[in-house]
């Protein structure tokens, strides 16, 4: 099948670098004589026909911007057969031969559903949680880490001034990659993640007491969102140790901001390769990074993969943070 028109959409949570990926998809397609279309508000846009042709200038001055110029939205209707058929009908009406989907696991399941119904799709991993199993680094992860480090560094200033403990919640509902990396980068006394069961006395109180006995008077505890309860945790720390404690939930500030060089470069590479795959007649694939190289996997295979948690890195983090 000859590819003459390609559409691109963003789905799920926004991530810094998505705009760089959109830009790369559009400009790669146009450079190869293929028409490019932008789908607004994810799969809802496919269902509602919110699709517009894009040219070189459509994606000017977006590579440095966070969020997504195409917007994103959840689409319960797309999970139904009727919704999927509406999306396919709109693509057929506009002559769209393939779709590049930028998002997470849920977005890839949608891409798989479309491919099975005759509309070729390629997925690009975009999520700040870095929880896509087939991919070592996802678009947005590096920027989110840097944002968290900047925020925690600011909290450290006031924690140090008052001899406090600052308990900081970072994003990561099912994955602790963000918490682990940020915790190491800020020298956290304790890092609490969903992958490792924790004991409050051993992993927080005793570590703080040991560190206190060596002369340290302020502390940082980094907690992944999937563990949560940071407000209660801060109260209990203060009760158990006598050290004044404050909880901070960084929240959606982690999703925003100008993407780092790494995220811009990664997004550009992934966008380019996604278009190349479609032009090669391939579909139902996810572009990924393995051992520093761009590769691709069948979506079904990618969804079944399990991402290993780096327990050695976790062990190191706690050994060097006393």
Pick from 156, 160, 169, 239: nearest CA to 205 = 239
- Distance in angstroms (rounded) separating the CA atoms of residues 180 and 313: 8
- 24, 219 contact by CB (below 8 A): no
Distances (CA, A) of 60 to 27, 188, 231, 232: 10, 40, 43, 46
For this structure, is 203 an active site residue?
no
Beta bridge partners of 246: 166
Task: State the Cα–Cα distance between residues 23 and 20, nearest whole angstrom.
Answer: 5
Question: Of residues 50, 113, 129, 296, which has the active-site annotation?
Answer: 129
What's the CA gap between 102 and 150, in Å, rounded? 27
Burial of 322 (0-12, 13-18, 19+ CB in 10 A): exposed
The encoded tokens of residue 223 equal 């907690």
Active site residues: 129
């Amino acid at each position: 099948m000859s590819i003459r028109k390609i559409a691109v959409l963003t789905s799920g949570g926004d991530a810094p670098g998505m705009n760089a990926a959109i830009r790369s998809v559009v400009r790669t397609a146009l450079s190869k004589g293929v028409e490019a279309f932008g789908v607004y508000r994810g799969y809802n846009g496919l269902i509602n026909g919110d699709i517009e042709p894009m040219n070189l200038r459509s994606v000017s001055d977006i590579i440095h911007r966070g969020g997504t110029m195409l917007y994103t939205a959840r689409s319960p209707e797309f999970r139904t057969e009727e919704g999927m058929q509406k999306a396919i009908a709109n693509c057929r009406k506009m002559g769209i031969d393939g779709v590049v989907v930028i998002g997470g696991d849920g977005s890839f399941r949608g891409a798989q559903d479309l491919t099975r119904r005759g509309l070729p799709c390629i997925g690009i991993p975009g999520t700040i949680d870095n929880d896509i199993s087939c991919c070592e680094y996802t678009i947005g992860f590096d920027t989110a880490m840097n944002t968290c480090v900047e925020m925690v560094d600011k909290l450290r200033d006031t924690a140090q001034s008052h001899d406090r403990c600052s308990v900081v919640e970072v994003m990561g509902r099912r994955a602790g990659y963000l918490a682990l990396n940020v915790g190491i980068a800020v020298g956290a006394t304790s890092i609490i993640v969903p992958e490792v069961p924790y004991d409050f006395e051993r992993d927080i109180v005793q570590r703080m007491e040991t560190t206190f006995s060596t002369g340290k008077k302020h502390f940082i505890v980094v907690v992944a969102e999937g563990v949560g309860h940071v407000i209660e945790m801060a109260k209990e720390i203060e009760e158990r140790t006598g050290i004044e404690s404050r909880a901070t939930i960084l929240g959606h500030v982690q999703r925003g901001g100008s993407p780092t060089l790494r995220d811009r470069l990664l997004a550009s590479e992934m966008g380019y390769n996604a278009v190349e795959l479609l032009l090669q007649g391939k579909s139902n694939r996810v572009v990924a990074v393995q051992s520093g190289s761009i590769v691709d996997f069948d979506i079904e295979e990618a969804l079944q993969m399990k991402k290993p948690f780096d327990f050695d890195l976790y062990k190191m983090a706690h050994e060097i943070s006393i």
